[in-house]
Structure 1
């Protein structure tokens, strides 16, 4: 700083006695200096006069406020350099220029740390400096006006930060817009955010379905920092983290060692090198779906702007990831659909080939009893297989649309298992499998639809038969544990890879298609198992030690409290061998189906008439007066429902037995049939035993 005693007008101020009052002290000053001092002391704006050697200070109350704690301790009259040492190097040259008359100087938006109310506070001030000229035109001193610009600087900084955040978000959006897989999005988003904030690590995590565990899929980190990728429980990070994250509140910790109680998460944070953290949870539809965490290796006071930025990034990152995952899911669904259609075509053709061959054999054999018996058995098996495929298709459609109706009753699980084994025994025998069964000695009562649960166990046995090489071992066990009936079907077959254990229950999914199977399938059997069991309030799971190690499928069903119905309480089956000759009318637009059924019934001695549509059926019925009518529902023109209503309205037709023949078997289809006047509802192709049961009660 220059020595200004060489300026003549300032010599008068060197003798100033600072023990006197400020107004009294300036009495001997040049008039211009006294005038400036008076103006300064009376102004509310922070101002001071600088004069004499070292530029001593004379300041007003406004300037005293600006000084904060520095205003105490007799700083009035002390040199500028002593009061503002941080300004000496910056403002000294500027003040020299002003004193030499070169210019009016200013220092804009300079930061200061002042102590106010006992706390340090950073402020920004702009100083405007002007010379004071005496009567001879010499510079007698300086007037300094101070304007605090903290609010303006904060506003400008906030605006700049906002623009920087927008630029970062745009950069993340552009970098991830063309990404074709979730990991690429995570890599770019975490890297850009981490470099922008200058942190140690940025991690992205998905929440697991149980909403208790989360999986860090990827973390960007500075060189030397460890990776935190893996599966964690929320509870590991202490009560504060758990309570915040579960409700979707951002977790902010500036200093782990200070803010967390010992044993309440501090150990976990320290084990992965974290002293400060922002963790933003993302809640969608009331569920925690994702998190993004920003880690700092040392304590750090996070700003509101940094919190807002992390929250914006995790929102955008998740949206991009879900977009990619949705696209992947659509592709996967399309692939499954294509595979399913190919398998469906294959599986439906499989039974058609032996049936066609069988027909040719019958034609060439000339009606040989031995050939008829052998070919007839083969054709019956193939038709049963095709019917099973179609039934599975219909069932999965009903379950998926919520239209399946359970006919629950109190029954013994052992009976259900026995029925399932009886139905699948031919397939097991054909593959040479050895079946062992271990059931409890006491009844296991369940409140269930016995047909559907038998179907579930049958599907598991069929699955085991298909995926176990010939002459394998299959074991069915059942037991009770804690109010739950547990049924397991285990095999020593091809096994399941760990990553596929849950996928085997997905629609149209088959594991290890390349393995030769004794029977085909559409990949819906296990999906149907899980859904039917779920409708009963139970669960279905798969377990395997891996490929080649066999599989175990387990279903769990709630046990009922009461005892199951005794075997003697079952209603008697209808007598299908009544032997009475009946007048039967068949109406079906499928000529082959109608006449083949007519031929079968004629062989049993019944009097048959056949119509190709509803109008023809009404015309025949008027003169024939049938006792039993089989009506196809899907006839052109007048459908089966309308035909049934009109038949019921004809004179003398109120007591006839009406049976629907249809491919539609949902609950609403059956209800519509009853409303139209049908007594029975038979699914195509009608099993001869079901047809005879209709005739038995006519």
Structure 2
């Protein structure tokens, strides 16, 4: 500025030739030019300006050097009423003045010269005296505080957003909390719009906004609506990257209390993600202030706002998921209680009837049939629960071999044939080729039976069931189509979730625990395959498709296991039953006695060895889950006792995994039976004691 001062044509201004300036002005100018801080001199009655290099940023490229030597009112027409009041106050009073963190607006960095940029600055004004002692001007030292003041304002917003993330509520409520906070800082965020997936929906939609009038909100509801307004949300969703975009003219209503009167000219669309997950869970659209340059600091603020909104949305999603899980658990426990009471009721009725006198012949046979049928229902419920537990914990081992899909269909139909005939369904089966898959036949049959059972249960009498098998893209495909009640669109993507059923009514007419399709999906995934469902809606039927990888060989690698030989018949045995559940022990002993054996029961592990010496059994049926000493330890003690080591040991347990069987054999058991023990299994195990 020193060179510019020397070269400037001062003769054309009221200052006159530089050599003729009064000493006080020359001294003040020397001080001004030598200052490292922004400094300006306002001289004369019309406050003409002189300034140093450090003051140029206050002016911006648009004013420098054009305002040099101009009156303040001419150089700062928009803000002189504010700035000039301080200068004129010192000129008239002679008193120094200090203005801290003053909010002023200057046309300097922004592209639009008609918009005044927001600036905070502190000013110190000192009077300058002429030779005659009169006040001739004002010396002003300046310090811009814009970064600090804007930073404090933005930090307040971020703190409030972090508190919002901890509040309870749905995704919509949490997002509304966030936009309410952003609305309070319309200076930095002229408007906001948060797109997320509300509970029960599948697509991103506008769930909360601030400073957008109601008609505009309605027109921006979906991503398609946003696209129609040139908002690039589809690109943000697809690419997962922030986009800055120009805004078309908005029907803007400025908020004088918390924002600027001018409409924002641009906005940022920022993808929202859950921590540690790359998938976009939402999009935050944040308006850019028309009075702030979008510099690094401002962009960093927007990134922090987006991160806070991410936390708000993710926290709400977590709460909703937890609440949904709790609701599922509560509903499941209610279903479980209902499904268990259903078979328990006839069992109890039959037990009471059996306790009455005079029950013989057909009535007794009918009671026995009811007991067997309802015990089978209970067994299936328990098996489903155990299967889900094992699969979830990763404790299921597949025994795979090459198997034809036609075999899976045939075996499955054997299990559901009675239900299909009862429902009078028309069944068609079509197979394209002989697709051989690499799978566990037992598990694949279990899956198809589950699917077919669902199709039959939810298809009215006289409906149609279609089973197809074919090859496609390296997979063997099983497809089951029905003409039943169908699935609502909002439920179709959750149909494979735990405890989900297409309808839940008080009568629970269809029964079941809602585990079947979840088991199907998990078993398919264990095979490296897929399971998915489709439906055209309620009343239009359902299609369930299972895909299993094709086998890479043509021949079956393992022969079918030979059917178990019928149990040997022979003389009666002496059998000791050990179970801490007295009813279980006594009932099994009664069953053995009905088979012609001599049986006695022991309920305490401490009495087993003494009773075995006295009773001299041929076999001991031993519960694994004994208190004090478990069945494995007891078996080892028996095997270590010379006079008892020859006795056949049979494990009876609720643990039926392969590793449980292996552990039983290692402990010295000759057989491993899973509760509830069937009579045929017990007969085969006892036959070994005769050899």
**TM-score with structure 2 length normalisation?**
0.76
CA distance in 2 between partners of 1:690 and 1:405 (Å): 23
CA distance in 1 between partners of 2:647 and 2:387 (Å): 31
CA deviation after TM superposition for structure 1 residue 610, in Å: 4.2
CA distance in 2 between partners of 1:592 and 1:282 (Å): 56
CA distance in 2 between partners of 1:59 and 1:577 (Å): 111
CA distance in 2 between partners of 1:178 and 1:444 (Å): 55
CA deviation after TM superposition for structure 1 residue 498, in Å: 1.4
2:369 is aligned, of 369, 377, 380, to 377
Q: How does 1:123-522 map to 2 (within 5 A)?
A: 128-134=126-132, 139=134, 142=136, 144-147=138-141, 149=142, 152-153=143-144, 155=145, 157-169=146-158, 180-194=169-183, 196-197=185-186, 201-206=191-196, 214-220=204-210, 221-222=212-213, 224-225=215-216, 227-230=219-222, 250-253=242-245, 275-279=266-270, 281-287=272-278, 288-295=280-287, 301-304=293-296, 306-359=298-351, 366=358, 368-429=360-421, 431-434=422-425, 436-440=427-431, 442-514=433-505, 520-522=511-513
With 524-533 and 438-447 compared, the bigger mean Cα shift is at 438-447
1:561 is aligned, of 537, 540, 552, to 552
CA deviation after TM superposition for structure 1 residue 34, in Å: 4.3
Q: Aligned residue for 1:688?
A: 679
CA distance in 2 between partners of 1:69 and 1:550 (Å): 71
**CA pair 311-56 structure 1, distance change in 2 beyond 3 A:** closer
CA deviation after TM superposition for structure 1 residue 557, in Å: 1.6
Larger Rg: 1
Match of 2:220, SS?
A: coil
CA distance in 2 between partners of 1:63 and 1:449 (Å): 81
- More helix, by proportion: 1
**CA pair 37-203 structure 1, distance change in 2 beyond 3 A:** closer
Q: How does 1:637-648 map to 2 (within 5 A)?
A: 637-648=628-639
**CA pair 280-407 structure 1, distance change in 2 beyond 3 A:** closer
**CA pair 169-656 structure 1, distance change in 2 beyond 3 A:** same
**TM-score with structure 1 length normalisation?**
0.75
The alignment of Structure 1 onto Structure 2 pairs a total of residues equal to 642
CA deviation after TM superposition for structure 1 residue 295, in Å: 4.4
1:676 is aligned, of 664, 667, 676, to 667
Q: Aligned residue for 2:5?
A: none
Match of 2:652, SS?
A: strand
CA deviation after TM superposition for structure 1 residue 645, in Å: 1.0
CA deviation after TM superposition for structure 1 residue 580, in Å: 3.2
CA distance in 1 between partners of 2:329 and 2:57 (Å): 77
CA distance in 2 between partners of 1:386 and 1:65 (Å): 83
CA deviation after TM superposition for structure 1 residue 537, in Å: 2.0
CA distance in 2 between partners of 1:591 and 1:232 (Å): 68
CA deviation after TM superposition for structure 1 residue 15, in Å: 14
CA distance in 2 between partners of 1:312 and 1:456 (Å): 48
How big is each residue's C-alpha offset from its partner over 1:557-616, in whole Å with a ceiling of 9 and x where there is no partner?
22221135289x323223224223363523233444344434444555555454444444
CA distance in 2 between partners of 1:516 and 1:582 (Å): 49
| Counterpart contact for 1:432–1:471, Cα < 8 Å | yes
Q: How does 1:1-16 map to 2 (within 5 A)?
A: none
Q: Aligned residue for 1:578?
A: 568
2:26 is aligned, of 34, 37, 43, to 37
CA distance in 1 between partners of 2:53 and 2:532 (Å): 81
Q: Aligned residue for 1:664?
A: 655
**CA pair 84-373 structure 1, distance change in 2 beyond 3 A:** closer
CA distance in 2 between partners of 1:396 and 1:453 (Å): 15
CA distance in 2 between partners of 1:69 and 1:412 (Å): 82
**CA pair 105-529 structure 1, distance change in 2 beyond 3 A:** same
CA distance in 2 between partners of 1:84 and 1:189 (Å): 42
CA distance in 2 between partners of 1:15 and 1:546 (Å): 84
CA deviation after TM superposition for structure 1 residue 410, in Å: 3.2
CA distance in 2 between partners of 1:172 and 1:342 (Å): 39
In structure 2, the gaps of 5 or more residues are: 1-10, 250-263
**CA pair 232-687 structure 1, distance change in 2 beyond 3 A:** farther
Q: Aligned residue for 2:259?
A: none
CA deviation after TM superposition for structure 1 residue 384, in Å: 1.0
Match of 1:197, SS?
A: coil
CA distance in 2 between partners of 1:619 and 1:532 (Å): 47
CA distance in 2 between partners of 1:525 and 1:80 (Å): 85
CA deviation after TM superposition for structure 1 residue 485, in Å: 1.8
Match of 1:411, SS?
A: strand
How big is each residue's C-alpha offset from its partner over 1:270-321, in whole Å with a ceiling of 9 and x where there is no partner?
xxx9854342534511434443112479998535554444444444444444
